[in-house]
Amino acid sequence: MGANGVVLKSTGKWYKVEMDDGQLVDCRIRGRMRLEGLKTTNPIAVGDRVVVSEEEDKEGNRIISDFEKRRNYIVRKSINLSKQQQILAANIDRAYLMITIHSPVTHLAFIDRFLVSAESFRIPVTLLFNKADLYNEDDHEYVDALIQLYNRIGYPGYKIQADNPDSVTFLKDEIKDKQVMISGHSGVGKSTLLNSLDPSLNIKTSEISEAHQQGQHTTTFAEMHKLSSGGYFIDTPGIRAFGVIDLEKEHIAHYFPEMRRLLGKCKFNNCMHLQEPECAVKEAVGDGDILETRYQSYVRLMEEDQSETYRKNIY
């Protein structure tokens, strides 16, 4: 017999689980768990619903004996560049991608890569443009244009000031009763946002490196925090190379919503939307119905060697 709970923290071998009755317990895994055919470095991830034994072992840990089928999950390549993947989080209702246009810069190519990955795992995304208090007039115009661009495709976007609780109150209502994920480069303000949403969390924040204009890594593993206002926020490690994992080239267009609606309208059934004639996607780019920046992100994904991109760490 066992009881059910949700994984709040994973360190690879040890897990912090919140049981359905609210009790927090330390757990480990029993034996080798079946991984649904996935080559992963971690069999259980933050956000997983698990079955936990009633009894404790000699060290006082309870045993995770099984986990429920995941609704979705998101992965990144493991650090050793093997074919294995690390599951960052599972059962995600929405992902919030935090973006900064200065200190550090979040490039549009990175945003689009993240959105493609999230689309491939059926995870809706909201874009949060942080540090709005530091914007000048041109910055505001640029970010407003980006918000309009992505909102048109289906991704809501907001300007926020993560260190101002009043600026992010709307998120409390969105997150209540949900499991959501927060992601973005190191230094964009993820920890600051969490502390504004719930000051009792007291998440460690990172300093910005003046030399590299990117935050020092303060988070090694994903962790899920329960907010006092309701819901759970998954805090993931700063992602410098968010790999688009195991997507066949001919499927990538499916994960651009503005391209997806045009699939099947090209002259050739196997059109890759690159050099082919009478391509509905390229015609839409020419007409302005698909943004040039989004199309260029698509072309990069189609042309790149995924392992080389990860090794160079360029996004």
**Do both 18 and 115 map to the same domain?**
no
**Do both 51 and 95 map to the same domain?**
no
Kindly indicate the confidence band of residue 216, based on its pLDDT and cuts at 50, 70 and 90.
very low
**Do both 95 and 225 map to the same domain?**
yes
Q: Where is the domain boundary, 200, 235, 270?
A: 235
| pLDDT for residue 209 is more than 80 | no
**Do both 160 and 101 map to the same domain?**
yes
Tokens of 135: 């914007």
Mean pLDDT of all residues in 197-215: 59
Q: What is the pLDDT of residue 261?
A: 94
- 15: domain CATH number is 2.40.50.140
Length of the chain in terms of residues written: 315
**Do both 98 and 227 map to the same domain?**
yes
Q: What is the pLDDT of residue 217?
A: 41
**Do both 227 and 256 map to the same domain?**
no
- Residue 42 placed within a domain: yes
Percent of the chain topping pLDDT 90: 58
**Do both 7 and 61 map to the same domain?**
yes
DSSP assignments along 161-224, one per residue? -TT-GGGGHHHHHHHTT-EEEEE-STTSSHHHHHHHH-GGG-PPP-PBPTTTSSBPP--SS-EE
**Do both 145 and 277 map to the same domain?**
no
- Residue 86 placed within a domain: no
- 105: domain CATH number is 3.40.50.300
Q: Where is the domain boundary, 193, 208, 235?
A: 235
Residue linked to tokens 């493991």:
78
Mean pLDDT of all residues in 260-284: 95
**Do both 116 and 228 map to the same domain?**
yes
- In Å, how far are 5, 41, 76, 87, 311 from 83, measured between CA atoms? 30, 10, 11, 13, 13
Ramachandran sector of residue 307 (left: φ over 0; alpha: ψ -120 to 50; beta: rest): alpha
Residue linked to tokens 């499991």:
179
Q: What residue numbers bound the domain in which 63 lies?
A: 2-69
Tokens of 114: 């993240």
- Residue 208 placed within a domain: yes
**Do both 121 and 172 map to the same domain?**
yes
Report the mean per-residue pLDDT for the chain: 84
Q: What is the pLDDT of residues 31-49, one digit of tens each?
A: 666 555 556 767 888 999 9
What's the distance, CA 77 to chain centroid? 13
| pLDDT for residue 241 is more than 50 | no
- Residue 241 placed within a domain: no
**Do both 9 and 41 map to the same domain?**
yes
Tokens of 40: 């992963």
- At 298, which helix (H) or strand (E)? helix 292-303
Return the number of other C-beta atoms located less than 10 Å from residue 2's C-beta: 15
Q: Indicate if the alpha-carbon torsion angle 35, 41, 43, 44 is positive or negative.
A: negative
* Contact (CB, 8 A) for 136 and 156: no
- Residue 118 placed within a domain: yes
**Do both 118 and 209 map to the same domain?**
yes
- Please give the tally of structural domains in the chain: 3
- Residue 297 placed within a domain: yes
Most confident of 7-11, 206-210, 221-225: 7-11
- Residue 142 placed within a domain: yes
CA triple 293-298-301, angle to 5 deg: 125
Q: Where is the domain boundary, 235, 263, 282?
A: 235
| pLDDT for residue 250 is more than 60 | yes
Least confident of 1-10, 75-84, 249-258, 267-276: 75-84
Peptide bond before 104: cis, by omega within 30 degrees of 0?
Answer: yes
Contacts of 294 (CB under 8 A, 6+ apart): 112, 153, 256, 258
- Residue 74 placed within a domain: no
Q: Which amino acid is at 289?
A: D
DSSP state of 41: S
Task: Report the C-alpha gap between 193 and 162 in whole angstroms.
Answer: 5
